[in-house]
Structure 1
Protein backbone atom coordinates (compact mmCIF):
# COMPACT_ATOMS: atom_id res chain seq x y z
CA UNK A 1 0.00 0.00 0.00
CA UNK A 2 1.36 3.42 -0.98
CA UNK A 3 1.81 6.05 1.76
CA UNK A 4 -0.59 8.98 1.65
CA UNK A 5 0.93 12.08 0.08
CA UNK A 6 -0.16 15.72 0.45
CA UNK A 7 -2.27 17.13 -2.38
CA UNK A 8 -0.23 18.74 -5.13
CA UNK A 9 -0.26 22.50 -5.70
CA UNK A 10 -3.46 23.59 -7.39
CA UNK A 11 -5.54 20.79 -5.89
CA UNK A 12 -8.17 21.37 -3.24
CA UNK A 13 -6.23 22.11 -0.01
CA UNK A 14 -9.00 20.42 2.00
CA UNK A 15 -8.03 17.04 0.54
CA UNK A 16 -4.60 17.42 2.16
CA UNK A 17 -5.98 18.70 5.46
CA UNK A 18 -9.22 17.54 7.12
CA UNK A 19 -8.48 19.56 10.27
CA UNK A 20 -11.93 21.17 10.38
CA UNK A 21 -13.50 17.70 10.40
CA UNK A 22 -11.43 16.71 13.43
CA UNK A 23 -11.69 19.90 15.49
CA UNK A 24 -14.59 19.28 17.87
CA UNK A 25 -17.34 16.74 18.38
CA UNK A 26 -19.68 19.73 18.79
CA UNK A 27 -18.76 21.34 15.48
CA UNK A 28 -20.44 19.18 12.86
CA UNK A 29 -23.95 20.22 14.03
CA UNK A 30 -27.05 20.32 11.91
CA UNK A 31 -28.39 23.86 11.65
CA UNK A 32 -30.28 24.92 8.54
CA UNK A 33 -30.84 21.55 6.86
CA UNK A 34 -34.40 20.52 6.17
CA UNK A 35 -35.63 16.99 6.85
CA UNK A 36 -35.17 15.96 3.22
CA UNK A 37 -31.47 16.95 3.31
CA UNK A 38 -30.90 15.20 6.63
CA UNK A 39 -32.55 12.03 5.35
CA UNK A 40 -29.79 11.78 2.71
CA UNK A 41 -27.06 11.43 5.37
CA UNK A 42 -26.55 7.74 6.17
CA UNK A 43 -27.81 6.95 9.68
CA UNK A 44 -24.47 5.45 10.74
CA UNK A 45 -22.92 8.94 10.49
CA UNK A 46 -25.59 10.77 12.56
CA UNK A 47 -25.18 11.12 16.32
CA UNK A 48 -27.65 9.62 18.81
CA UNK A 49 -29.33 12.98 19.47
CA UNK A 50 -29.88 13.48 15.71
CA UNK A 51 -28.30 16.91 16.15
CA UNK A 52 -25.10 16.47 14.17
CA UNK A 53 -22.53 14.10 12.83
CA UNK A 54 -21.33 11.13 14.87
CA UNK A 55 -17.75 11.61 16.01
CA UNK A 56 -14.99 9.42 17.32
CA UNK A 57 -13.54 11.81 19.88
CA UNK A 58 -13.31 15.11 18.00
CA UNK A 59 -13.14 13.50 14.56
CA UNK A 60 -16.20 13.21 12.32
CA UNK A 61 -16.84 9.55 11.50
CA UNK A 62 -17.39 10.41 7.82
CA UNK A 63 -13.76 11.57 7.52
CA UNK A 64 -11.21 9.12 6.19
CA UNK A 65 -7.47 9.51 5.84
CA UNK A 66 -4.75 11.21 7.83
CA UNK A 67 -5.09 14.85 8.96
CA UNK A 68 -2.58 17.09 7.17
CA UNK A 69 -1.67 14.43 4.62
CA UNK A 70 -4.67 13.19 2.63
CA UNK A 71 -8.34 13.12 3.67
CA UNK A 72 -11.76 12.60 2.15
CA UNK A 73 -15.36 12.98 3.26
CA UNK A 74 -17.40 9.79 2.98
CA UNK A 75 -20.61 11.81 2.51
CA UNK A 76 -19.26 14.80 0.59
CA UNK A 77 -22.25 15.13 -1.76
CA UNK A 78 -24.76 15.16 1.16
CA UNK A 79 -22.59 16.77 3.87
CA UNK A 80 -24.29 19.16 6.32
CA UNK A 81 -24.48 22.91 5.71
CA UNK A 82 -21.89 23.65 8.41
CA UNK A 83 -19.40 21.59 6.40
CA UNK A 84 -20.29 23.42 3.19
CA UNK A 85 -19.69 26.87 4.70
CA UNK A 86 -16.19 26.21 6.08
CA UNK A 87 -13.81 27.59 3.47
CA UNK A 88 -10.05 27.09 3.03
CA UNK A 89 -8.21 29.94 4.75
CA UNK A 90 -11.15 31.34 6.72
CA UNK A 91 -11.02 31.93 10.49
CA UNK A 92 -12.49 28.52 11.34
CA UNK A 93 -10.02 26.83 8.99
CA UNK A 94 -7.12 28.66 10.66
CA UNK A 95 -8.26 27.58 14.15
CA UNK A 96 -8.62 23.94 13.13
CA UNK A 97 -5.29 23.86 11.29
CA UNK A 98 -3.52 25.48 14.24
CA UNK A 99 -4.93 22.85 16.61
CA UNK A 100 -3.38 20.15 14.43
CA UNK A 101 -0.05 21.96 14.06
CA UNK A 102 -0.64 22.91 10.43
CA UNK A 103 0.23 26.33 8.97
CA UNK A 104 -2.55 28.73 8.05
CA UNK A 105 -3.65 28.87 4.43
CA UNK A 106 -3.78 32.15 2.53
CA UNK A 107 -6.98 34.10 3.22
CA UNK A 108 -9.63 33.79 0.50
CA UNK A 109 -9.08 36.57 -2.03
CA UNK A 110 -5.73 37.60 -0.51
CA UNK A 111 -2.72 37.92 -2.80
CA UNK A 112 -0.16 35.09 -2.49
CA UNK A 113 2.65 35.66 0.00
Structure 2
Protein backbone atom coordinates (compact mmCIF):
# COMPACT_ATOMS: atom_id res chain seq x y z
CA UNK A 1 0.00 0.00 0.00
CA UNK A 2 1.37 3.41 -0.88
CA UNK A 3 1.53 6.36 1.49
CA UNK A 4 -1.15 8.07 -0.62
CA UNK A 5 -3.60 5.19 -0.02
CA UNK A 6 -2.99 5.41 3.73
CA UNK A 7 -3.72 9.14 3.70
CA UNK A 8 -6.91 8.54 1.71
CA UNK A 9 -8.12 5.91 4.20
CA UNK A 10 -7.42 8.22 7.14
CA UNK A 11 -9.39 10.95 5.38
CA UNK A 12 -12.29 8.49 4.95
CA UNK A 13 -12.48 8.02 8.71
CA UNK A 14 -12.17 11.71 9.48
CA UNK A 15 -15.01 12.53 7.12
CA UNK A 16 -17.17 9.65 8.35
CA UNK A 17 -17.49 8.77 12.05
CA UNK A 18 -20.33 6.32 11.34
CA UNK A 19 -18.80 3.56 13.48
CA UNK A 20 -18.80 5.98 16.44
CA UNK A 21 -22.52 6.65 16.05
CA UNK A 22 -23.75 3.20 15.10
CA UNK A 23 -24.81 1.78 18.47
CA UNK A 24 -24.43 2.49 22.17
CA UNK A 25 -23.27 -1.14 22.48
CA UNK A 26 -20.40 -0.69 20.02
CA UNK A 27 -17.80 1.34 21.96
CA UNK A 28 -17.40 -1.35 24.61
CA UNK A 29 -14.40 -2.39 26.65
CA UNK A 30 -12.94 -5.84 26.10
CA UNK A 31 -9.21 -6.52 26.44
CA UNK A 32 -8.05 -3.16 27.80
CA UNK A 33 -5.76 -3.24 30.82
CA UNK A 34 -6.67 -1.42 34.03
CA UNK A 35 -4.07 1.22 33.10
CA UNK A 36 -5.60 1.72 29.65
CA UNK A 37 -9.08 2.05 31.13
CA UNK A 38 -7.84 4.53 33.72
CA UNK A 39 -6.55 6.77 30.90
CA UNK A 40 -10.07 7.24 29.52
CA UNK A 41 -11.73 10.27 31.14
CA UNK A 42 -14.26 9.02 33.70
CA UNK A 43 -16.94 11.37 32.34
CA UNK A 44 -16.80 9.45 29.03
CA UNK A 45 -17.29 5.99 30.58
CA UNK A 46 -20.82 4.58 30.83
CA UNK A 47 -22.52 3.94 34.17
CA UNK A 48 -21.91 0.18 33.94
CA UNK A 49 -18.17 0.78 33.37
CA UNK A 50 -18.48 -1.53 30.35
CA UNK A 51 -17.81 0.94 27.57
CA UNK A 52 -17.94 4.51 26.42
CA UNK A 53 -20.82 6.78 27.45
CA UNK A 54 -23.15 7.43 24.53
CA UNK A 55 -25.72 10.05 23.72
CA UNK A 56 -28.31 7.87 22.02
CA UNK A 57 -26.19 5.66 19.78
CA UNK A 58 -23.38 8.21 19.43
CA UNK A 59 -20.17 7.86 21.45
CA UNK A 60 -19.70 10.89 23.70
CA UNK A 61 -16.05 11.19 22.57
CA UNK A 62 -17.04 11.75 18.92
CA UNK A 63 -16.65 15.32 17.78
CA UNK A 64 -18.10 16.80 14.60
CA UNK A 65 -20.83 15.76 12.20
CA UNK A 66 -21.11 12.18 10.96
CA UNK A 67 -20.53 11.99 7.23
CA UNK A 68 -18.96 15.45 7.14
CA UNK A 69 -15.99 15.92 9.47
CA UNK A 70 -15.34 14.00 12.67
CA UNK A 71 -12.62 13.30 15.20
CA UNK A 72 -12.27 11.22 18.32
CA UNK A 73 -11.79 13.33 21.43
CA UNK A 74 -9.74 10.54 23.04
CA UNK A 75 -8.08 9.06 19.96
CA UNK A 76 -4.79 8.21 21.70
CA UNK A 77 -6.55 6.26 24.48
CA UNK A 78 -9.63 4.95 22.60
CA UNK A 79 -10.87 1.41 23.36
CA UNK A 80 -9.54 -1.60 21.45
CA UNK A 81 -12.81 -2.10 19.53
CA UNK A 82 -12.31 1.38 18.08
CA UNK A 83 -8.72 0.56 17.11
CA UNK A 84 -9.71 -2.60 15.25
CA UNK A 85 -12.49 -1.14 13.09
CA UNK A 86 -10.88 -0.53 9.71
CA UNK A 87 -12.09 1.42 6.68
CA UNK A 88 -14.08 -0.91 4.45
CA UNK A 89 -14.34 -3.85 6.86
CA UNK A 90 -17.70 -5.45 7.74
CA UNK A 91 -18.26 -3.23 10.78
CA UNK A 92 -17.42 -0.09 8.80
CA UNK A 93 -19.79 -1.10 6.00
CA UNK A 94 -22.62 -1.82 8.45
CA UNK A 95 -22.19 1.55 10.19
CA UNK A 96 -21.93 3.47 6.90
CA UNK A 97 -25.17 1.84 5.66
CA UNK A 98 -26.99 3.12 8.76
CA UNK A 99 -26.04 6.68 7.79
CA UNK A 100 -26.61 6.08 4.06
CA UNK A 101 -22.94 6.72 3.28
CA UNK A 102 -21.32 4.98 0.29
CA UNK A 103 -19.27 1.86 0.92
CA UNK A 104 -15.48 2.07 1.18
CA UNK A 105 -13.41 -0.54 -0.60
CA UNK A 106 -11.61 -2.72 1.99
CA UNK A 107 -7.90 -2.12 2.53
Normalized against structure 2, the TM-score is what?
A: 0.91
CA 11–90 in structure 1, closer or farther in 2 if over 3 Å, else same: closer
Q: Distance in 1 between matches of 2:41 and 2:85?
A: 21
Q: Which residue of 1 aligns with 2:25?
A: 26
Show structure 1 runs of 5+ residues with no match: 1-8, 109-113
* Shift, 1:52, TM fit: 0.1
User: Which has the higher Rg, Structure 1 or Structure 2?
Assistant: 1
Q: Which residue of 2 aligns with 1:49?
A: 48
Q: Which residue of 1 aligns with 2:66?
A: 67
More helix by share: 2
2:98 is the counterpart of 1:77: no
| RMSD, matched Cα | 1.1
Q: Distance in 1 between matches of 2:36 and 2:49?
A: 13
CA offset digits 1:22-75 (Å, max 9, x no partner): 000011110000100000000010000100000000000000100000000000
* Shift, 1:11, TM fit: 6.0
Show structure 2 runs of 5+ residues with no match: 1-6
**Which aligned runs of 4 or more in structure 1 are off by greater than 4 angstroms?**
none
Normalized against structure 1, the TM-score is what?
A: 0.86
Q: Which residue of 2 aligns with 1:14?
A: 13
Q: Which residue of 1 aligns with 2:36?
A: 37
